[in-house]
């Protein structure tokens, strides 16, 4: 692997990561609503 290729890969990742994070967060929010998640957290805490 040449340094230029690595830099290009990293640059590409940095550009794609935010979109992936947003999609994953949206999917997580849809699967586990914040209220339900925090409620389960409090119940487990007790």
Report field, pTM of the whole predicted structure over 0.85: no
Q: What pLDDT is recorded for position 30? A: 73
Q: Each residue of 7-42: pLDDT tens digit?
A: 889 899 899 999 988 998 888 877 766 565 555 555
Torsion of CA 37, 43, 45, 46, to 10 degrees: 170
Give the largest Cα separation in the chain, rounded: 54
Measure Cα distances from 37 to 9, 17, 30 in Å: 36, 25, 11
φ, ψ of residue 28 in degrees (nearest 5): -65, -40
Over its C-alpha atoms, the chain yields an Rg (Å, rounded) of 18
């Amino acid at each position: 692997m040449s340094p230029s290729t690595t830099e290009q890969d990293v640059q590409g990742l940095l550009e794609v990561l935010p979109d992936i994070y947003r999609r994953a967060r949206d999917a997580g929010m849809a699967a586990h609503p914040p209220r339900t998640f925090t409620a389960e957290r409090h119940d487990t805490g007790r």
